[in-house]
A and B are shown apart, each in its own frame.
Chain A
Amino acid sequence: MLDNHAKLLYFFSEARQVTGRKKLQKMIYILQQSRVPFEEKYQFHFYGPYSEELTLRVEELCNLHFLKEEKEEKSNYHQYHYSITEDGETFLKQFEVNMPDIKNQINLLQECSARFLELVSTMLYFSYLSKEEIIDKVHTVKSKLKYTDEEMTEAFRFMDELRNKSSH
């Protein structure tokens, strides 16, 4: 019952605060690709892998007062901050959620920009392709973002680091 909601709460409990909906989307996707058992279904959207299911579940967690959403006015858009509430922590304690230790991976992801996570998640989405094909694909589907060779190299290195963290 509500396993998937509890798994997300576990993530927020470990992350403390997540800033930006896009960043949240990409963090969960990258963790999912690192074999963390989140079950939200992702599809490729304009800005990379995106899960409508995740959006809805986060809304539900906010409506249940397990998560707090704070809206910040930016110059021409809104930015959202998410953090787990006391009710959320209490619910999580009562719920025996079976999840691996993901603290290190979350810390690593928290330090990255949304732009970089968009690149990494897009690369992971095409991970069935060869390295050269992945680079070509990123240039095709993300032509407007003009990712540099350095960013690509850094993204591949980052994926390796993440893989190492998840295997330890």
Chain B
Amino acid sequence: MAYKDEQLIEEKVFKDPVHRYIHVRDRVIWDLIATPEFQRLRRIKQLGTTNLTFHGAEHSRFNHSLGVYEIVRRITTNFADRERWDREQRLLCLCAALLHDLGHGPFSHSFEKVFKLDHEQFTQQIILGSTKVNEILKKVSADFPVKVADVIAKTYSDKLVVSLISSQIDADRMDYLQRDAYFTGVSYGHFDMERILRVMRPMDDQVVIKSTGMHAVEDYIMSRYQMYWQVYFHPVTRSAEVILSKIFQRAKVLYEDESYQFQLEPTHFISFFEEKVQLSDYLKLDDMIVYYYFQQWQEEKDAILADLSYRFINRHLFKYVEYNPDPQINAGMELYQLFKKAGIDPDYYLVVDSSSDLPYDFYRPGEEEERLPIHLLMPDGGLKELSRHSDIVEAISGKKRTDHKLYFPKDSIQRIEDTDLKKRILDILYGKE
């Protein structure tokens, strides 16, 4: 039997708190899960710093990847007898679902921003490069790794396959909304996935939703909306993200300063500082390694690196106030100067964070051909864009969503000895001028 068709003698199951069971029968999937590159995902938290706000959010990218695989497995099973579904694409869909987040690193968001990296490129490199994952995919067929990489990069010729993994209503989103809701413990994020899976229909270029299932999709969109505000954009999580970015930024500056001697050489980060990252360097990083350095850097001679590391490790985060750059731009500039005067380096301790600087998820219908919206399959066989048919979706699509916050270390400000300077800073921050 060809490797691509090999089935395990007995179906394997993973217990899962979101989908109850994750079922594996294909030998290829079982072998992929066992690779070092996939096992590495156990050591990378799905939500980065969110556990500092919601202590339950300790789940990993491994959990999520298996969840996405399971949803796609159920969808392809449902599609098996549908006319427009090509059953030959099944294994490709399952592999792409399982591997779609393979290139994520620790605290991806901050890390990628500071070092100007892109986890999607690492996903491609892992699938196409000299790795165990690539060895397994090549056993299916010589061109199979490229196909899997293309589906994940959304450049595969069959757009229907792509849309299962990546669209406005895809397996990726359906898993992480439910999983993140479960592990954070919030009561938002729940929707009737079983119903959505039952009303999904394969069309030429995308999965569409039978119009009778519109209310289940509304619930899904509402859950995205709630999770966006309640979890993903939580200001305390953003405070931790700000500090994390500043630690990486400071460590890089110190590395570039030849006169500075680290007490603990930043071996794992050198290729990132020098912008010469190889895949092997990248794969060595995980949450544990990053935490080890932060733990050690609390003892560094450099006061800024030591302080920021202490803050992150001990959850001694920055405080924040609302900040509107339009009327408050001058206040922001004055604060910058006052911080300098007080000996608090504003490049590390005065940070405006905008909501778009964080991961987010929100349904935005656009104009024609801007991006692919969710389409409802109407009884007459025609398609209709969701927000044009659903009052609920239309109502939340156009709402103001801007959120800028100014982050700063209030405890350091409280310790400023010059009372006039301290008062001026606090007056600006808390609007008492």
Asked if A103 lies at the interface with its beta carbon under 8 angstroms from chain B, I say no
Instruction: Determine the chain B residues whose CB is within 8 A of the CB of A52 once the complex forms.
Output: 360
Closest to B163 in A: A46
The reply on A87 being an interface residue by CB < 8 A is yes
Q: Which residues in A have their C-beta under 8 angstroms from that of B360?
A: 52, 56
Let me know if B367 and A45 touch, CB within 8 A. Answer: no
CA distance A59 to B355 in the complex (A): 11
Residues of A within 8 A of B400 (CB): 63
Residue of B with least CB distance to A57: B356
Task: Provide the bound-state CA to CA distance between A126 and B154, in Å.
Answer: 13
- Chain A residues near B330 (CB-CB < 8 A): 94
The answer to whether residues A1 and B332 also contact, given A56-B355, A60-B355 and a CB cut-off of 8 A, is: yes
**Which single residue of chain B is at the shortest CB-CB distance from A95?**
B329
Q: For the complex, is B210 an interface residue (Cβ under 8 Å from A)? A: no
In the complex, whether B352 has a CB less than 8 A from a CB of chain A is yes
Please give me the residue from chain A that is nearest to B364 by CB atom.
Answer: A55
Contact of B325 with A by CB under 8 A: yes
A98 at the interface (CB under 8 A from B): no
Chain A, residues 112-152, CB within 8 Å of chain B (1/0): the string is 00100000000000100000000001001101100000000
Which one, B159, B351, B364, B367, contacts A46 given CB within 8 A?
Answer: B159
Asked whether B155 lies within 8 Å of A44 as measured between CB atoms, the reply is yes
Other-chain contact of A21, B325, B370, B402 (Cβ < 8 Å): B370
Asked if A65 CB lies within 8 Å of chain B CBs, one says yes
A65 (CB) vs chain B CBs: closest residue: B326
Taking each of A77, A80, A95, which has the highest tally of chain B beta carbons within 10 Å of its own beta carbon? A77
Contact A78 B367, CB 8 Å, known A44-B155, A45-B372: yes
Using Cβ atoms and an 8 Å threshold, which residues of chain A touch B155? Answer: 44, 126, 137, 140-141
Contacts of A78 on B, CB cut-off 8 Å?
367-368
B157 close to A46 (CB less than 8 A): no
| Complex CA distance for A63 and B355, rounded to whole angstroms | 13
Decide: A22 and B367 in contact? CB cutoff 8 A. Answer: yes
Report the minimum CB–CB distance from A98 to chain B (whole Å). 16
Assess the A41–B118 pair: CB atoms within 8 A.
yes
Q: Report whether A91 and B325 are in contact in the complex, using a CB–CB cutoff of 8 Å.
A: yes
Q: Is the interface of B mostly helix, strand, loop or mixed?
A: loop
Kindly state the separation between the CA atoms of A66 and B324 in the bound complex, as whole angstroms: 12
The answer, yes or no, to whether B379 is at the interface (CB within 8 Å) is: no
Which of chain A's residues has its CB closest to B402's CB? A63
Nearest-neighbor residue (CB-CB) of A144 within chain B? B205
Beta-carbon contacts under 8 Å, B318-332 to A: 324-326, 329-330, 332
| A64 on interface, CB distance cutoff 8 Å | yes
CB of A1 within 8 A of CB of B402, answer: no
Whether A2 pairs with B352 at a CB distance below 8 angstroms is yes
Question: For the complex, what is the distance from the CA of A55 to the CA of B159, rounded to whole Å?
Answer: 23
Q: How far is the CB of B172 from chain A (nearest CB, A)?
A: 13
Closest approach, in angstroms, between the C-beta of B78 and any C-beta of chain A? Answer: 23
- Chain B residue numbers with a CB within 8 Å of A107 are none
B153 within 8 A of A: yes
With a cutoff of 8 Å between Cβ atoms, the chain B residues found around residue A10 in the complex are none
Could you say which of A1, A21, A25, A43 has the most chain B C-beta atoms within 10 Å of its C-beta?
Answer: A1
Closest to B365 in A: A78
Say which residue of A1, A20, A143 sits within 8 Å of B351 (CB atoms). Answer: A1
Could you write out 7 A-B pairs with CB less than 8 Å apart?
A: A22-B367, A60-B401, A63-B401, A64-B326, A66-B326, A76-B368, A91-B329
| Pairs A-B, 6 closest by C-beta atoms | A77-B368, A56-B356, A63-B402, A1-B352, A46-B372, A44-B154
